[in-house]
């Protein structure tokens, strides 16, 4: 396992994190604890959860594992999130001081810890002034409840605004952003990746396998079936399958991943994960595994280093069809500058 700093902080995390959204939902406690054991045995030290995952059950499962493993507990970097509803009331949601104060204390209790290493705002809240949220987070760093904070599902201007408000007010700065990112979903490269690089923000990509598409589980024009996310609910699965199936880009990407996987003697998942891990600003790629078998295969990506030619090929076939302006060729040409006669 490779280790990287958490954004501009001094905290060090493995470049593959363990996502625990399945804990308490698709994975029972025994399976979840076995997955945690295997992840740590492979050198992983970064656990990502959220209060809304199984309405707190994921955090409780992790908390009981941490209590049963005091030695490992000291080595783990634990991240959780708050923002989404945890009750029926109008203040049981959002990024207000009122809600976050309750949400953070509840997460600490469920995890059985006095301090959370990384506390993430799960999504933007258009109703709460960003200054209010950042002041709460700064206070929480000061009083020792959290070590660092970050965001999830923010767009470029959200992130940049937060960075500059924190700097202007002398607050602790954000260190991470958790966006969706994969060979199939690369839209963050337009604004979010440049904004993150500019601010020294570390990216923690979720859904790096495109919801299972990049593992080779789905076949062109064939209804999803079996133990797959789309196959478990045929009606909803087919509804979600059709739009991506209809895009030729989807199958060009899958074919390219499959070609490299066969040439290297590895799984398609490992190739797709290795591509994400090699992208600029990425600190740690979040692995979601229902069981030990899935995790074992995904963790092998930590030993896979794609060649520059393989990365370039995957990047080329997966390039999004952005509109010409301002993100397409015309817009990029207008922003480009080089010194004539220079190197």
Of the candidates 108, 135, 131, which has an alpha carbon nearest to the alpha carbon of residue 119? 108
* The total number of residues written for the chain in this structure: 343
- Name the least confident of 20-34, 46-60, 126-140, 313-327: 313-327
Pairing relation of β-strands 77-82 and 46-48? Answer: parallel
- The SS3 call for residue 236 is helix
The helix (run of H) or strand (run of E) holding residue 313 is helix 308-317
Q: Quick one: pLDDT at residue 335? A: 80
Q: Quick one: pLDDT at residue 244? A: 77
Model confidence band, residue 316 (pLDDT cutoffs 50, 70, 90): very high
Q: Does domain 3-216+252-309 have CATH number 3.30.43.10?
A: no
Task: Give 103's contacts (C-beta < 8 A, 6+ positions apart).
Answer: 51, 82, 83, 86
**188-241 per-position pLDDT tens digit:** 999 999 999 999 999 999 999 999 999 998 888 776 666 665 655 655 656 777
CB 177 within 8 A of CB 203: yes
**136-167 per-position pLDDT tens digit:** 999 999 999 999 999 999 999 999 999 999 99
CB 54 within 8 A of CB 75: no
71 pLDDT exceeds 80? yes
Q: Active-site residue 39, yes or no?
A: no
Q: Quick one: pLDDT at residue 225? A: 62
31 pLDDT exceeds 60? yes
* Strand order from edge to edge, sheet including 77-82: 202-203, 176-178, 146-152, 116-121, 77-82, 46-48, 16-19, 285-288
Q: Give pTM, 2 decimals.
A: 0.93
Q: Quick one: pLDDT at residue 263? A: 98
Q: Quick one: pLDDT at residue 52? A: 97
343 pLDDT exceeds 60? no
- Long-range contacts: 82-86, Cβ < 8 Å, 24+? 82/50, 82/51, 82/107, 82/119, 82/120, 82/121, 82/122, 83/121, 83/122, 83/123, 83/125, 84/50, 84/51, 84/52, 84/122, 84/123, 85/52, 86/51, 86/52, 86/55, 86/56
The Cα–Cα gap between 172 and 11 comes to 15
**84-97 per-position pLDDT tens digit:** 999 999 999 999 99
Cβ of 175: how many Cβ atoms within 10 Å? 23
Model confidence band, residue 325 (pLDDT cutoffs 50, 70, 90): confident
* Marked catalytic residue, from 16, 39, 53, 119: 53
Q: Quick one: pLDDT at residue 245? A: 84
Percent of the chain with pLDDT over 90: 82
Domain residue spans in the chain? 3-216+252-309
């Amino acid at each position: 396992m490779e280790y990287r700093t958490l954004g501009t902080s001094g905290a060090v995390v493995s470049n593959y994190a363990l996502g625990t959204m399945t804990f308490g939902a698709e994975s029972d406690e025994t399976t979840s604890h076995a997955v945690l054991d295997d992840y740590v045995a492979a050198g992983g030290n970064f656990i990502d959860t959220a209060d809304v995952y199984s309405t707190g059950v994921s955090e409780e499962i992790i908390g009981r594992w941490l209590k049963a493993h005091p030695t490992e507990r000291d080595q783990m970097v634990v991240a959780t999130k708050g923002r989404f509803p945890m009750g029926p009331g109008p203040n049981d949601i959002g990024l207000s001081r009122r809600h976050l104060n309750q949400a953070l204390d509840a997460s600490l209790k469920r995890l059985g810890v006095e301090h959370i290493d990384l506390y993430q705002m799960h999504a933007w809240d258009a109703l709460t002034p960003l200054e209010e949220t950042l002041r709460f987070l700064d206070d929480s760093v000061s009083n020792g409840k959290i070590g660092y904070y970050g965001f999830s599902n923010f767009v470029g201007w959200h992130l940049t605004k937060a960075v500059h408000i924190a700097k202007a007010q002398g607050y602790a700065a954000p260190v991470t952003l958790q966006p969706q990112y994969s060979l199939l979903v690369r839209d963050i490269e337009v604004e979010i990746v440049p904004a993150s690089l500019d601010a020294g923000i570390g990216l923690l990509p979720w859904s790096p396998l495109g919801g299972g598409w990049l593992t080779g589980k789905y076949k062109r024009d064939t209804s999803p079936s079996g133990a797959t996310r789309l196959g478990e609910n045929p009606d909803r699965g087919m509804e979600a399958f059709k739009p991506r199936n209809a895009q030729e880009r989807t199958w060009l990407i899958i074919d390219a991943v499959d070609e490299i996987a066969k040439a290297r003697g590895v799984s398609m998942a490992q190739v797709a994960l290795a591509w994400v891990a090699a992208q600029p600003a990425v600190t740690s790629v979040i692995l979601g595994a229902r069981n030990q078998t899935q995790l074992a295969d995904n963790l092998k990506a930590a030993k896979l280093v794609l060649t520059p030619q393989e990365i370039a090929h995957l990047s080329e076939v997966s390039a999004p069809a952005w509109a010409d302006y301002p993100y397409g060729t015309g817009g990029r040409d207008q922003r480009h500058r080089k010194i004539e006669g220079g190197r």
